[in-house]
């Protein structure tokens, strides 16, 4: 199945000192996508203000969310979102949740669970709050109209968890499959257990082991091998209806990083879009 590509070079959700490199990463990936099926969301130049909330850059985050939803409404078929920071999934997954009336499972491949709130976040960065916001527990202006049910969320390759996130995970019953437990069979079984009609696949590239990709702003050791990730994706796309997908978190420091990393990234994109 051919996919449409939506490139969102947002950096405002990141708390990294390398946040602006996310723009370069999104542009590097865009250069290898088919131009006829690629749309780019215009990102505000400014950081944006909190608008009286406890969330830095809320203004820009809201603008990007709205522009993303407008672009998605005009795109046919399966859309693959390319970030930017993983906060770009606010618009993409929110759109799918509303379209599917919440009947969608979200597989979140990420080194971090992104389950913080403005009160618990050590960094204050929205990228660390995006999943909690999708679950309906975030700044009111950003919470989706149809939140994600905790029972429809599956975390994969998560291995860097803050204390408050760990407490929330234990109380919520959210399924989290660490690298050792993450196999095609265990992932398919976890998705089947949700009973959802379709699946959204999110890949933050830090789900991979740092040996697999250089352009990571927050590398976490002992992640997935790229071949294992592709096998997991193919197991899901071969079994379930795919509602959408996203690839985020690419922040190359140099052209040599791009040269080295793009074959791996494009292989993942190929698995998600086929």
pLDDT by residue (tens digit) across 169-182?
Answer: 999 999 999 999 99
Q: Which of 174, 194, 192 is nearest to 235 (CA)?
A: 192
pLDDT band for position 73 (50/70/90)?
Answer: very high
Q: Whole-prediction pTM value?
A: 0.97
Residues 6+ away with beta carbon under 8 Å from 270: none
The pLDDT score that the predictor gives to residue 178 is 97
pLDDT band for position 48 (50/70/90)?
Answer: very high
Query: How many whole angstroms separate alpha carbon 166 and alpha carbon 95?
Result: 28
Q: Does domain 4-273 have CATH number 3.40.800.10?
A: yes
Mean pLDDT along residues 180-186: 98
The pLDDT score that the predictor gives to residue 274 is 87
pLDDT by residue (tens digit) across 229-267?
Answer: 999 999 999 999 999 999 999 999 999 999 999 999 999
Q: Which of 23, 153, 34 is nearest to 88 (CA)?
A: 23
Query: How many whole angstroms separate alpha carbon 240 and alpha carbon 90?
Result: 22
pLDDT by residue (tens digit) across 54-70?
Answer: 999 999 999 999 999 99
The pLDDT score that the predictor gives to residue 84 is 96
The pLDDT score that the predictor gives to residue 12 is 97
Burial class (CB in 10 A: 0-12, 13-18, 19+), 85: buried
pLDDT by residue (tens digit) across 104-133?
Answer: 999 999 999 999 999 999 999 999 999 999
């Amino acid at each position: 199945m051919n996919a449409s590509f939506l490139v969102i070079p947002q950096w405002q959700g990141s708390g990294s000192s390398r946040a602006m490199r996310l723009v370069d990463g999104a542009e590097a990936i865009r250069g290898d996508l088919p131009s006829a099926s690629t749309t780019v969301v215009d990102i505000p130049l400014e950081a944006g203000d909190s608008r009286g909330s406890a969330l830095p850059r809320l203004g820009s985050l809201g603008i990007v969310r709205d522009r993303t939803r407008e672009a998605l409404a005009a795109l046919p078929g399966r859309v693959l979102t390319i970030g930017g920071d993983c906060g770009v999934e606010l618009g993409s997954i929110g759109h799918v949740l509303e379209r599917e009336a919440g009947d969608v499972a979200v597989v979140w491949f990420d080194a971090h669970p992104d389950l913080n709130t403005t009160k618990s976040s050590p960094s204050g960065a929205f990228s660390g709050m995006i999943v909690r916001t999708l679950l309906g527990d975030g700044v009111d202006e950003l919470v989706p109209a149809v939140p994600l049910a905790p029972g429809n969320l599956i975390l994969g390759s998560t291995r860097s968890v803050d204390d408050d996130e760990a407490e929330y995970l234990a109380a919520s019953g959210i399924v989290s499959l660490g690298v050792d437990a993450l196999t095609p069979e265990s992932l398919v079984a976890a998705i089947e257990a949700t009973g959802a009609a379709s699946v959204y696949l999110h890949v933050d590239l830090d789900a991979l082991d740092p040996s697999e990709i250089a352009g990571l702003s927050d590398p976490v050791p002992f992640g997935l091998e790229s071949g294992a990730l592709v096998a997991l994706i193919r197991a899901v796309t071969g079994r379930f209806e795919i509602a959408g997908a996203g690839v985020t978190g690419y922040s190359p420091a140099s052209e040599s990083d791009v040269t080295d990393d793009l074959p791996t990234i494009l292989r993942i994109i190929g698995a998600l879009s086929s």
